[in-house]
Structure 1
Amino acid sequence: MILGIDMGASSSKWALFSGGVSGGEVAASGVYAPLSGHLYTPEARQHMAAGLAGIRAAVPAQPSAVVVGVTGLVTGFAPLITEMLSSTFYLPQTALCVTDDLHLAYAAHFLRDGPVGGGTLVYAGTGSMAYHRTAEGEVIRAGGHGFLIDDAGGAFWQGRQGLKAVLREADEARGQSLLASRLFGVIGSQHWPDIRAYVYGEGRAALARLAPAVYGAAVEGDPHAQDIQRRAGRELARLGGAVLRRTGNSRLALCGGSFNPLVKAAFHAQFADRDVILTPPVSPLLGALALAPAG
């Protein structure tokens, strides 16, 4: 039994696979609260320990190996997370693998059939990044600089762009658009004190939660929302193109909840005249089967 855990800024997902590395049958799965590798404070470390204990309580059987992909993993904290996993799951450290969430997703798309013939993974979740890993383990990436700097195309960026547009509408007294109606519906208010409390009280996860409403407004024909979807697709394609040029590879895989159909269509349009092979998307948790320690 191999347990895969994908820790993210919006949520943490887990799946228990039966049959070992060659099996891959999902015996159980679940979703937990957000967890990250930013363990700089005692409170953050306590939150991680509590999170692992919560996941362990939900897993219905004892795993023989655990593979964890951690968003924002700081290499220096990997041994600490490994120790937490060992004590929580009663496993030796040789049965554990702690890596970053992008490596987990990359392994799911390109390494399950062996280390040869990798490609470029373009990830769009709360943030965004393009990622390639060589056979020697060297990482070649573009983006992933965090929401304060860029992360264009991801859910935080989409939510921020949408809210910025509707607040400018309000400033200019242009009336409430469809996009504004959808966003204020998620926030629960159209009044600035409530919007301020929602955004600045909950941080980037709050803005990321607005992304599905932006997509919904785009589907219903709101021009601002549609423009945000097109721009998100172009930004993500820029990241993918940058890594493809640096690696000379032609295989692409898309991963992450922010790749809705409209963003995906805009992304694909940027590669319409290029010789690119698209790998079908799979769950990042399948990367646990490729990265699980042998034995």
Structure 2
Amino acid sequence: MILGIDMGASSSKWALFSDGVSGGEVAASGVYASLSGHLYTPEARQHMAAGLAGIRAAVPAQPSAVVVGVTGLSTDFAPLIMEMLSSTFYLPQHALHVTDDLHLAYAAHFPAGGGTLVYAGTGSMAYHRTVSNDGTAADEVIRAGGHGFLIDDAGGAFWQGRQGLKAVLRGVDEGRGESLLASRLFGVIGSQNWPDIRAYVYGEGRAALARLAPAVYAAAVDGDPHAQDIQRRAGEELARLGGAVMERTGNSQLGLCGGSFNPLVKAAFYAQFMDRDVSFTPTVSPLLGALALA
């Protein structure tokens, strides 16, 4: 029994894979609260320990191995997470594997390595990893993006939400009537008054803006031109990341994953590669990476 855990900024997902792992049969799965590798304070470490205990309580059987992908993982804290896993799941450390969440997703899509994965969640990144013939990861990792929301992360949910709200507030400044996009975003925020919008955005940070992304997509589906433009530009930005890594590696295999790849963003993404010799890998759950890394 192999337990995979994908720790994310919005939620943490887990899946228990039964024997016969080549088929990747899921014996049980669940969702837990957000967990991250930002363990700089005692409170953060306590939150991680409580989170692992909560996941262990939900897992219906004792796993023989645990593979964890951690968002924001610092190598300094990997040994601490290993210790927490060992004490929580009663497993020796050789039965545990801790890596970052993007490596987990990459292993799910390219277990033999060599391809380029474009990820679009709250943020965005393109990632390539070389894997040796015996299945162990070599040192070479090539990436583009992933610089955080203060610098870039174009195409991700935060960026989409920010672009949508910026367009709406500029419309308010210029005295234009309420657009479909404005109606959808104000519905999520719960108000169209600036003090309430300010409290929503600056009180909750990047997660608040990321939560606006589905409303931007819904407005685009219903025909709002600003929202449609945001979806198109998101796809183009994500394609730029993938193209940059592919140019550097010379590999033509490309995969994509992450909740910000809605159908409109995907269509704009694929359109950028219509005239290029690219082989697309089907999108799968990042948790399947646990089978490749166990």
TM range (shorter): over 0.9
How far the C-alpha of 1:36 sits from its partner, in A, is 1.0
How far the C-alpha of 1:102 sits from its partner, in A, is 0.7
- 1:117 and 1:255 map into 2 onto residues whose CA distance is 16
* More displaced 10-residue stretch of structure 1: 275-284 or 55-64: 55-64
- 2:288 and 2:198 map into 1 onto residues whose CA distance is 39
Match of residue 179 from structure 1: 181
How far the C-alpha of 1:23 sits from its partner, in A, is 4.2
- Please list every run of at least 4 consecutive aligned residues from structure 1 whose deviation after the TM superposition is greater than 6 angstroms: none
Q: Tell me, which stretches of 5 or more residues in structure 1 are unaligned?
A: none
CA contact (8 A) 2:49 2:84 kept: yes
Q: 1:20 to 1:36 in 2, by over 3 A?
A: farther
1:151-201, Cα deviation, whole Å (9 max, x unpaired): 000001101111111111111120111001111111111111111111112
- 1:57 and 1:204 map into 2 onto residues whose CA distance is 30
CA contact (8 A) 1:17 1:23 kept: no
Could you tell me the TM-score, scaled by structure 1's length? 0.95
How far the C-alpha of 1:22 sits from its partner, in A, is 2.7
Could you tell me the TM-score, scaled by structure 2's length? 0.95
Q: 1:25 to 1:209 in 2, by over 3 A?
A: same
How far the C-alpha of 1:136 sits from its partner, in A, is 1.9
- 1:286 and 1:234 map into 2 onto residues whose CA distance is 28
- 1:156 and 1:20 map into 2 onto residues whose CA distance is 39
Match of residue 137 from structure 1: 139
Q: How does 1:244-255 map to 2 (within 5 A)?
A: 244-255=246-257
How far the C-alpha of 1:62 sits from its partner, in A, is 1.2
1:121-150, Cα deviation, whole Å (9 max, x unpaired): 000001000000095231100000011111
Q: Tell me, which stretches of 5 or more residues in structure 2 are unaligned?
A: 130-135
* More displaced 10-residue stretch of structure 1: 136-145 or 237-246: 136-145
Q: 1:188 to 1:105 in 2, by over 3 A?
A: same
1:178-237, Cα deviation, whole Å (9 max, x unpaired): 001111111111111111111112111111111000000000000000000000000000
Q: How does 1:107-126 map to 2 (within 5 A)?
A: 107-110=107-110, 116=112, 118-126=114-122
- 2:86 and 2:150 map into 1 onto residues whose CA distance is 34
* More displaced 10-residue stretch of structure 1: 223-232 or 194-203: 194-203
CA contact (8 A) 2:168 2:182 kept: yes
CA contact (8 A) 1:39 1:77 kept: yes
- 2:104 and 2:62 map into 1 onto residues whose CA distance is 21
* More displaced 10-residue stretch of structure 1: 130-139 or 162-171: 130-139
How far the C-alpha of 1:120 sits from its partner, in A, is 0.1
Q: Say if 2:273 is the partner of 1:277.
A: no
CA contact (8 A) 2:10 2:34 kept: yes
How far the C-alpha of 1:88 sits from its partner, in A, is 1.1
Q: 1:66 to 1:20 in 2, by over 3 A?
A: farther
CA contact (8 A) 1:121 1:240 kept: yes
How far the C-alpha of 1:118 sits from its partner, in A, is 2.1
Aligned alpha-carbon RMSD (Å) = 1.4
Name the count of aligned residue pairs: 288
How far the C-alpha of 1:20 sits from its partner, in A, is 5.0
CA contact (8 A) 2:107 2:113 kept: no
CA contact (8 A) 1:2 1:20 kept: no
CA contact (8 A) 1:162 1:179 kept: yes
CA contact (8 A) 1:152 1:232 kept: yes
- 1:171 and 1:25 map into 2 onto residues whose CA distance is 54
DSSP-derived class of the 2:97 partner:
strand
- 1:210 and 1:139 map into 2 onto residues whose CA distance is 32
How far the C-alpha of 1:21 sits from its partner, in A, is 3.4
DSSP-derived class of the 1:132 partner:
strand
- 2:200 and 2:32 map into 1 onto residues whose CA distance is 22
1:262-284, Cα deviation, whole Å (9 max, x unpaired): 00010011111000000010000
DSSP-derived class of the 2:21 partner:
coil
* More displaced 10-residue stretch of structure 1: 129-138 or 38-47: 129-138
